[in-house]
Amino acid sequence: MEKLSTQPYKGTRDFYPEEMKLRNWFFGKIRETLELAAYEEYNGPMLESLELYAAKSGDELAREQTYNFTDRGGRDLAIRPEMTPSVARMVAAKIGELNYPLKWFSIPNMYRYERPQRGRLREFWQLNVDIFGCDTYEADLDVIQSAIAVLRAYGADETMFRVHINNRRFFNDVIAAICGTDAEGSKKVSKVVDRKNKIPRETYVKDMTELGLSEEQIDKIDALYTMNVKDATAFCPDSVGSQELLSLFDALAATGLDKYCMFDFGIIRGLDYYTGTVFEVFDEAPENNRAMFGGGRYDNLVGLFAKNAKISGVGYGMGDVTLENFLVTHKLVPDVLRSGKKVLVARFDDVAIEKYTAIVDQLRAAGIVTSLYTGIKKFGKQIDYAVKGNYSHVVIMGGSELEKGIAKIKNLETREEIEVAVSDIASSLA
């Protein structure tokens, strides 16, 4: 028979114990940090109705970008490619019972059908952090604080990342103020500004000029990209967006977080979804200087599910692959494999197994990770096993030690060996 391939499916990963330990460390830091800030974890199913994504992105795009299929009941299903539709469904289902503002997070695994490349895999995990049901700047502040807190929990500092912040209400108002356009006209200008970095300069200027903008107006918009928040908001001081930006930056300064943050007029994040604060977190490493993840405020989370109900949200999504790249680039990944005590109790065939299991019980009761060597092999093989398995110590008790009521403890790092009474093994390792 033809043997099967041992490779995981394209764009997915196997997590052997070493990688899994690292993941558990990554995710543990996230949980610890967010729970300390009273965010609560949730999760939904991997499979959802395809219509959840079709309603948001159109049927064609939803089918193209997701793994989808029809079940035997004729229902179109997709493996979730993102979490927002699921959480929107969950909030809509209990809209009258939930305790707003909700501070929620999730670290779901999800699938996107795309060509695997650096930083983008088909199976990935994504931290989703959101506050639902509070539409003032305090919620924006809280989620931005949480993103900074997560990165700081890994040991990242202000030389390594920066949160670039803008506001979509301000964006609309400042364009109207500079160009003197009505809503319709501002929208047209916004579309050109949104494309600014993706098109040649001449095309940009030509498009802006065709919309009736003067050279001076184009210069003024250019200048916004390097301005601080005070100068930028001075163009439209009465704009709700300006006030939100100023309140947010004031609060960031008051809490000492301003060193991690900057105003950046270049952050737009698509024109159709976000409605207030928007932000992107940049990796400051010269070789990797780009947006790692981002988020912002959006209105009407539950619109697809509930009539006559509006819940706003503000949040962000951070992919595990991006996060890992960041931590590796900045050397923030500790040697989790070799942290802490891990004891192997070696086994000799002239000693009854219960003598060893008693030692194992003693060590585990003291909270020390312990394994009895499984089976009987030559002592050298057991030591090899301990070294390769990242054990820190080996407890050695053969027939001659048993007679004297002692055991040897070998420290595998220092290679030192000490003798202790059997009853003192745990305390001498504590």
Least separation in angstroms between residue 175's CB and its own copies is 28
Instruction: Report the residue from 4, 331, 380, 414 that binds its own copies according to the rule CB under 8 A.
Output: 4
Q: Which of residues 248-307 bind its own copies (CB under 8 A)?
A: 251, 254-255, 304-307
Cα–Cα separations (whole angstroms), residue 374 to 137, 146, 332, 371, 409: 58, 45, 35, 8, 18
Nearest to 298 by CA among 162, 143, 147: 143
The amino acid at 188: K
Cα–Cα separations (whole angstroms), residue 222 to 196, 237, 362: 10, 19, 70
Per CB under 8 A, 115 contacts its own copies: no
- The position carrying tokens 């989703």 is 128
Per CB under 8 A, 43 contacts its own copies: yes
CB 314 within 8 A of CB 342: no
Per CB under 8 A, 12 contacts its own copies: yes
- At residue 420, the 3 state secondary structure works out as strand
Per CB under 8 A, 6 contacts its own copies: yes
Nearer to its own copies, 122 or 168 (CB): 122
Least separation in angstroms between residue 64's CB and its own copies is 9
Cα–Cα separations (whole angstroms), residue 119 to 116, 176, 379, 422: 8, 37, 45, 52
Least separation in angstroms between residue 184's CB and its own copies is 25
Least separation in angstroms between residue 386's CB and its own copies is 9
Instruction: Report the residue from 25, 27, 37, 218 that binds its own copies according to the rule CB under 8 A.
Output: 37
Q: Which of residues 213-242 bind its own copies (CB under 8 A)?
A: none
Instruction: Report the residue from 26, 29, 111, 318 that binds its own copies according to the rule CB under 8 A.
Output: 111
Structural element, H or E, at residue 322: helix 320-329
Least separation in angstroms between residue 198's CB and its own copies is 28
Per CB under 8 A, 46 contacts its own copies: yes
Contacts of 142 (CB under 8 A, 6+ apart): 37, 103, 131
CB 257 within 8 A of CB 148: yes
Per CB under 8 A, 117 contacts its own copies: no
Nearest to 137 by CA among 256, 272, 278: 278
Q: Which of residues 303-332 bind its own copies (CB under 8 A)?
A: 304-307
CB 168 within 8 A of CB 275: yes
Instruction: Report the residue from 30, 52, 327, 406 that binds its own copies according to the rule CB under 8 A.
Output: 52
Structural element, H or E, at residue 271: none
Q: Which of residues 411-430 bind its own copies (CB under 8 A)?
A: none
Least separation in angstroms between residue 129's CB and its own copies is 13
Q: How far apart are CA 301 and CA 104, in angstroms?
A: 14
CB 312 within 8 A of CB 133: yes
Q: Which of residues 64-93 bind its own copies (CB under 8 A)?
A: 67-69, 71-73, 75, 77, 79, 89-90, 92-93
Q: Which of residues 346-405 bind its own copies (CB under 8 A)?
A: 347, 352-354, 357-358, 361, 364, 367-372, 374-376, 385, 388-389
Per CB under 8 A, 124 contacts its own copies: no
Nearer to its own copies, 47 or 218 (CB): 47
Per CB under 8 A, 211 contacts its own copies: no
CB 283 within 8 A of CB 295: no
Per CB under 8 A, 183 contacts its own copies: no
Nearer to its own copies, 328 or 376 (CB): 376
Least separation in angstroms between residue 225's CB and its own copies is 29
The pair of structure tokens assigned to 221 is: 């918009």
The pair of structure tokens assigned to 114 is: 């795309």
